[in-house]
Amino acid sequence: MQLEFTHLPEVTPVFSQFALHERILKAVAELKFVEPTPVQAAAIPLALQGRDLRVTAQTGSGKTAAFVLPMLNRLADLGGPRVEIRALILLPTRELAQQTLKQVELFSQFTYIKSGLVTGGEDFKEQAAMLRKVPDVLIGTPGRLLEQLNAGNLDLSHVQVLVLDEADRMLDMGFAEDMERLCKECENREQTLLFSATTGGAALRDIIGKILKDPEHLMLNSVSQLAEGTRQQIIMADHDQHKEKIIHWLLDNETFQKAIIFTNTRVAADRVYGHLVAKDIKAFVLHGDKDQKDRKLAIERFKQGGSKVLVATDVAARGLDIDGLDLVINFDMPRSGDEYVHRIGRTGRAGGEGLAISLITHNDWNLMSSIERYLKQQFQRRLIKEVKGTYNGPKKVKASGKAVGVKKKKVDKKTGEKKAAAKRKPTAKPRPNAPLASVDGMAPLKKRAPKPE
């Protein structure tokens, strides 16, 4: 497979220069999109030519319109009665699916194109009934789409355009086989568009080799550029309770419209949320243990400003497009550089300013410094007098930025002398907080595909 790396074209001044159907241009104008973003300027003309594309673009860069507009254009040109699903958008999470559906509906509002959604957490029979009416565009997450397929409710053999959005994330979530199976079901497709926020690893290359035909690769951002729109800071913390104190201070003293606090686990999300509630700070919590209704409600109310603070696991890190989100706090350091980029990609969207603050205990240090190296950036060290702890970072760091392991010396009770600590026997179990592998080279740090939180 030959991959071409294309330089960015000059940004096309206005949307009307694209060879888009007038009804679609009307919707674009209605949404007050005038100038295409760089990813739109690069991807739309090639997609309109029918090329397969692999696009690496930052979340928040306008990538949804970059695939939705050419996809709708193909369908708008067809005319005739609707009898088949003609476009499929595969993506990793329900939230992203709902948001994408909204965009598709807005862009197709002056056409006869109808869209439908198939994700987990929604009524299976209602979905089957929707599928019997045959939408033109189907948007869904792999697991539930396969269930509908296996139940005989879904025919994808007439799909002309297949889009995989956030393909890297779907792979991280363990959907590789489901994705392949669904791609095979769309065997008569004419075009495949694959979007990822990161360049991904071997698994992404493997699926690209299998499903894209002679693709053009549009590299819109290098990974170090991905985080550029956002100021990035770290604050040292002694332990989790200290982190909660810092968060409390930040929420009281920072100027922000909306903030997300990310944790690595559901338990930590609930604990931080509980702490905020106890301090009379109104917040919502979002993680995989919440049922779909609660998740929807939390997002909607957060969007509408029912609360300025959302505590979330990474399920919320992808795709959520929330106006005015300008503060991201990493209660836990994400386990990989890519995840970090996705989290902070929630701020500073569509040109806005953002601030990302990571709270760093000695357990987080090496992970943080690996992420700095990955991004080729140094995060600003910030000290807050009012909530200052005792940890100030490692005493010594290696050239790599990692802490030099300082062995503690025990005091001999009899002589009062310090002696070297006895070597610990290697144990079969890994330490609970130890990263499973280095982030160098950005292999994902998880051994197994993580369960969606």
CB 167, min distance to ligand AMP, A: 15
CB 306, min distance to ligand AMP, A: 20
CB 170, min distance to ligand AMP, A: 17
CB 40, min distance to ligand AMP, A: 6
Nearer to ligand AMP, 56 or 370 (CB): 56
Q: Which parts of 141-180 interact with ligand AMP (CB under 6 A)?
A: none
Nearer to ligand AMP, 86 or 349 (CB): 349
Q: Which parts of 316-335 interact with ligand AMP (CB under 6 A)?
A: 321
Nearer to ligand AMP, 62 or 92 (CB): 62
CB 273, min distance to ligand AMP, A: 26
Nearer to ligand AMP, 37 or 361 (CB): 37
Show the tokens assigned to 99. Answer: 């948001």
Q: How far is 25 from 11, CA to CA, in rounded Å?
A: 18
Nearer to ligand AMP, 18 or 256 (CB): 18
CB 238, min distance to ligand AMP, A: 37
Q: How far is 282 from 364, CA to CA, in rounded Å?
A: 28
Q: Which parts of 28-67 interact with ligand AMP (CB under 6 A)?
A: 33, 35-37, 40, 59-65
CB 324, min distance to ligand AMP, A: 11
Q: Which parts of 59-118 interact with ligand AMP (CB under 6 A)?
A: 59-65
Separation of CA 423 from chain center = 41
CB 125, min distance to ligand AMP, A: 31
Q: Which of 251, 453, 278 is nearest to 357 (CA)?
A: 251
Nearer to ligand AMP, 27 or 445 (CB): 27
Q: Which parts of 210-229 interact with ligand AMP (CB under 6 A)?
A: none
Nearer to ligand AMP, 58 or 232 (CB): 58
Nearer to ligand AMP, 18 or 284 (CB): 18
- Total Cβ atoms within 10 A of residue 360: 22
Crossing angle (nearest 10°) for helices 176-185 and 142-150: 50
Show the tokens assigned to 386. Answer: 């009012």
Compute how many residues bind ligand AMP; rule: CB under 6 A.
15
Q: Which parts of 334-393 interact with ligand AMP (CB under 6 A)?
A: 349-350
Residues found near ligand AMP in the complex (CB under 6 A): 33, 35-37, 40, 59-65, 321, 349-350
